[in-house]
Amino acid sequence: MKTQQGTHPAAESIKRRYIIMTFGEKLKNARLKAGLSQEQLSEKLHVSRSAVAKWETDKGMPDIANLKATAQLLDVSIDYLLDDSDMLSCKTMKEAIHPADYQKSGKCRCWQDAAVLAKFPKAIQIFPLIRKKKLSRIESIMEWTLLPAFGIFQTVDQINSGCAFYLAEEGDRQFFIAVSKEFIEYSALAARVNDKKFEVGNYIYQKANYALI
């Protein structure tokens, strides 16, 4: 059986899984999955319930501190909440790790490489990623005219992130992975990445010039 447009119902179902959502819709969806009311979330964040209501109706945005706290409380990544292209699927897995458990060997250049290899032993490809922040017009002007020798905004962003990023392919799925000193987070990509560069949220990711697999 096909739809009027000639698309199989199963294909339509897959499309619906990745329907584009606004920040507010994603926040509300994540809050409900966490089993929290607007009031309960506001209490945990120490903000008013009306503030949460505004965020969920896209009439306002949390500041950086509240955005980080919200992502942690709802067990989703900040990139997922901010990504308006829905590159990431809704479900983000987050697991605690200990750097001392991983040693460099083979093609691994750092303990993060080893951690990703251990987490995805069935992967057929794993690429380390280079992350670059998408700058505003003003930031771009300052970056390349006033501070060309330092790249100050990119440097500050890398320091603040403290994460290593990867793209892994396992079977017919691809995973976007972030590794910090405390956690490894990964989420299936909603759309397949074939190019060397792709965007997630406010960042551009580029495959490194070497692969772990």
| pLDDT tens per residue, range 98-117 | 999 999 888 999 999 999 99
Banded model confidence at residue 189, pLDDT cuts 50, 70, 90: confident
Mean pLDDT over 109-135 rounds to 91
Q: What percent of the chain has pLDDT over 70?
A: 73
Q: Where are the domains of the chain?
A: 1-76, 88-213
Q: Report the alpha-carbon angle 69-75-81, nearest 5.
A: 70
What pLDDT score was predicted for residue 158?
52
Q: How far apart are CA 80 and CA 82, in angstroms?
A: 6
Distances (CA, A) of 155 to 161, 180, 207: 10, 17, 19
User: Tens of pLDDT along 134-188?
Assistant: 766 655 555 445 444 444 444 445 544 578 999 999 988 899 999 989 999 888 8
Residue for token pair 């949220």: 201
What pLDDT score was predicted for residue 163?
86
What pLDDT score was predicted for residue 12?
40
Banded model confidence at residue 91, pLDDT cuts 50, 70, 90: low
Banded model confidence at residue 14, pLDDT cuts 50, 70, 90: very low
Q: What percent of the chain has pLDDT over 90?
A: 33
Token couple for 183: 């956690």
What pLDDT score was predicted for residue 162?
76
User: What does DSSP say about strands 183-189 and 88-96: parallel, antiparallel, or unpaired?
Assistant: antiparallel
Banded model confidence at residue 84, pLDDT cuts 50, 70, 90: low
Number of H helices, E strands in the chain: 9, 7
Q: How far apart are CA 96 and CA 118, in angstroms?
A: 14
In a 10 Å sphere around its CB, with 0-12 CB exposed, 13-18 middle and 19+ buried, how is residue 192 labelled? exposed
Banded model confidence at residue 20, pLDDT cuts 50, 70, 90: low
What average pLDDT does the chain have? 78
Highest mean pLDDT among 43-47, 84-88, 121-125, 170-174: 121-125
Q: Read off the pTM.
A: 0.56
What pLDDT score was predicted for residue 161?
56
What pLDDT score was predicted for residue 152?
42
Residue-wise burial string across 2-38, b where 16 or more C-beta atoms lie within 10 A, e elsewhere: eeeeeeeeeeeeeeeeeeebebbebbbebbeeeebeb
Q: Give domain 1-76's CATH superfamily.
A: lambda repressor-like DNA-binding domains (1.10.260.40)
Distant-in-sequence, close-in-space partners of 9: CB < 8 Å, separation ≥ 6:
1, 2, 3
What pLDDT score was predicted for residue 171?
87
What pLDDT score was predicted for residue 136?
63
